[in-house]
Amino acid sequence: DIQMTQSPSFLSASVGDRVTINCKASQNINRYLNWYQQKLGEAPKLLIYNANSLQTGIPSRFSGSGSGTDFTLTISSLQPEDVATYFCLQHNSWPWTFGGGTKLELK
Amino acid sequence: QVNLLQSGAALVKPGASVKLSCKASGYTFTDYYIHWVKQSHGKSLEWIGYINPNSGYTNYNEKFKSKATLTVDKSTNTAYMELSRLTSEDSATYYCTRRGIRGTPLGDYWGQGVMVTVSS
């Protein structure tokens, strides 16, 4: 199985900060990487698919980049409503696998 | 509007089975695969598998092959996941979600999740 390693596991930032979350795959997954946001008590929400495509309705402050094994989710200007846990998912090879999550809180 | 409505929380005894449902509405059921995802308390997500509602074809994560059985009822636009021989390790929240057969990404809509608690 492909291992997805997210970093950091925990992140504290201030409103307006630029935030980056990383995801590293144990082998090449091309651009088959999605990012999800999960708020407390809610189902995950799709933010970015295929590494850099913004899902409909998601604010443009969210962006994704990367290919191969290294990927990044960037929030250009952190808003209070962005407090959540973020997960990456590789869908290049079965079984699909998620990263361990990054919990983002406000400083 | 698109909705995936999951059945209510379940408290089940060790060794028993439970069948979870995911009723789809607001779209053509057979145009989207239904995927199931497990989230143990406070932890990350695990992909269990998916079913093609049109053909019934299934693809499982090897880890869940002897644990989960995915089925659908096209007449009611409902997907099911049966979990068997339950242990405390199966206590978790389970989500259904969808992915377009024509390539739209996984997870544009999710069920609300159902918590399964395995306890005597």
Q: What is the pLDDT of residues B60-75, one digit of tens each?
A: 999 999 999 999 999 9
Which residue of chain A has the CA closest to B44? A100
CB atoms within 10 A of CB B91: 16
Which residue of chain B has the CA closest to A49? B105
Residues of A in contact with B46 (CB under 8 A): 98
pLDDT digits (tens, 9 = 90+) for B44-56: 899 999 999 999 9
What mean pLDDT do residues A31-35 have?
A: 98
DSSP category for residue B59 = E
What mean pLDDT do residues B35-49 have?
A: 93
pLDDT of residue B8: 87
What mean pLDDT do residues A8-32 have?
A: 98
Measured CA to CA, the distance from residue A11 to residue A50 in angstroms comes to: 24
Q: CA of A103 to nearest chain B CA: how many angstroms apart?
A: 11
Interface touch A98/B95, C-beta < 8 Å: no
Q: Say whether pLDDT at B42 is over 80.
A: no
pLDDT of residue B47: 98
Residues of B in contact with A89 (CB under 8 A): 45, 47, 106-107
Which residue of chain B has the CA closest to A88? B45
Which residue of chain A has the CA closest to B62? A95
pLDDT of residue B41: 83
pLDDT of residue B9: 87
Query: pLDDT class for B37, splitting at 50, 70, 90?
Result: very high
Q: Give the amino acid at A79.
A: Q
CB atoms within 10 A of CB A54: 16
Q: Mean pLDDT over all residues of chain A?
A: 98
Beta strands A4-7 and A19-25, pairing class = antiparallel
Q: Say whether pLDDT at A14 is over 90.
A: yes
Residues of B in contact with A87 (CB under 8 A): 44-45
Measured CA to CA, the distance from residue B49 to residue A96 in angstroms comes to: 9
pLDDT of residue B56: 96
Q: CA of B90 to nearest chain A CA: how many angstroms apart?
A: 18
User: Across the interface, which of A46, A55, A96 has its CB nearest the CB of B47?
Assistant: A96
pLDDT of residue B11: 96
Q: CA of B36 to nearest chain A CA: how many angstroms apart?
A: 11
pLDDT digits (tens, 9 = 90+) for B7-29: 888 999 999 999 999 999 999 99
pLDDT digits (tens, 9 = 90+) for A64-101: 999 999 999 999 999 999 999 999 999 999 999 999 99
Interface touch A98/B105, C-beta < 8 Å: no
Quick one: which of A92, A11, A87, A5 has its CA closest to A43?
A87
